[in-house]
Amino acid sequence: MTTANPGMDADVFEQFHEQLKRYVRERLIPAEAQVIAEDKIPDDILAEMREMGLFGLTMPVEYGGAGMNITQYVETIHTLSYALPAYRSITSINLGMVCSAIKLNGTEEQKSEWLPRLAAGEIASFGLTEPGSGSDSAGLQTTAVRSGNGYVLNGTKRYITNSPFAKVALIMARTNKESLPKNAHVSAFIVPMDTPGITVGKSDKKMGQGGSHIADIIMEDVYVPGEALLGGEEGKGFAVAMQSLDNGRLSVGAAATAYAKRALDTAVRYANERKAFGEPIANFQLIQAMLADSQAEIYAAQCMMRDAIAKADAGQKVLMEAASFKMFASEMCGRVTDRCVQIHGGAGYLAEYEAERFFRDSRIYRIYEGTTQIMQLVIAKQMLRNFAAGVEG
């Protein structure tokens, strides 16, 4: 068990949280149409987000961050994610994955160099997925071959969030040709994106999540010095990735839960405004059943979230809780956004209304940071390990 993180002062966090709620509703939501039309977050909003410290929430105070604990961080992501997913996407890789990896595994020199830059808003990417491997790290093909005091990286990373405008990427690569026990053939490298030999592919066109970008990172004979090896030790990359993914899964679960609430609020509003047979459709019991089911599922996800983050801040391992929450919340969000379309009827299929966008945006939550099927495997394997060890619960 690790030492619990007290996080930001409770009163200061509450003030920040209230400010963020207003910012989401008064600034970010009104700008959504522009973000979607231009497929990018406007520079002035990005500057505001940096000024608010949204890129440095989880960075330690001594490195220029806010020093939030996991509970405060996930609650912040939950609040931010009521708005368009692109706003969370631009910050989340910094906060939940790259920061976590460097903070927990980096050398003092790596922390001093990179955490202040990430906190100030330099955008990061997390390079694990490849054309031939996602959750299967044994199939990872990117190589890092020793060359003098450094390494030469070759390979392609796929579907990498924020890569078109990232300043740095945390790249997972093979430092051993053979697949070793506990994936000890995988190491992690901190790679500036302007390093010679790196090419970023064209942004992929996606089903939803306008304003958020993913693309390939292609590495051809990319030389990095030995100091780029995270923690200065080979073979720790898989453990770093899995450790970071717990935070990523909590973030995705929080985002899915908040976006489901946004869809439900929109459905309730529409059901009260739309009339049929001379009265609002909200008066019809089958509409009420869809609203009630959605509310109950959102409440369940919120309870799961708060249980998981409380355990994480108490220093407990939350691999199973994070996977369970991510799985349930992402599937739940899909059901709620589907009901939102159904409540809108024909209007729900039109781009003029938000319902169809919620439906498209939410689909990815069941895929990234581990598909629902991978979450099932993670949960079941942990259950079996617990049984073998005589651990209950």
Of 154, 151, 161, which is closest to residue 230 (Cα–Cα)? 151
Type of residue numbered 172: M
Instruction: At 118, list the tokens.
Output: 């990430």
The whole-angstrom separation of Cα 121 and Cα 136 is 31
The CA-based dihedral angle spanning residues 342, 346, 349, 355, taken in that order and rounded to the nearest 10 degrees = -50
The backbone region for 222, taken as left when phi is positive above 0, alpha when psi lies in -120 to 50, beta otherwise, is beta
- Two tokens, residue 73: 């961080």
The candidate with the shortest Cα–Cα distance to 77, out of 58, 62, 102, is 58
Question: Which string of DSSP letters, residue by residue, matches 321-357?
Answer: HHHHHHHHHHHHHHHHHHHHHHHHGGGGGSTTSSHHH
Question: Strand, coil or helix: what is 319?
Answer: helix
CA angle centred on 40, ends 35 and 46, rounded to 5°: 90
Q: How far apart are CA 366 and CA 200, in angstroms?
A: 26
What per-residue string of b and e applies to 351-370 under the rule 16 or more CB within 10 Å gives b? eebbbbbbbebbbbbbebbb
Active-site residue (options: 234, 297, 354, 369): 369
Degrees (nearest 5) of the Cα angle 356, 361, 271?
A: 40
Task: Name the nearest CA neighbour of 254 among 317, 311, 301.
Answer: 301
- Please name the residue that has the structure tokens 């489901």: 260
Is 122 one of the annotated active-site residues of the chain? no
Q: Check if the beta carbon of residue 280 is closer than 8 Å to that of residue 273.
A: yes
Instruction: Using alpha carbons, select from 210, 203, 129 the residue that is nearest to residue 173.
Output: 129
Residues recognised as catalytic? 369
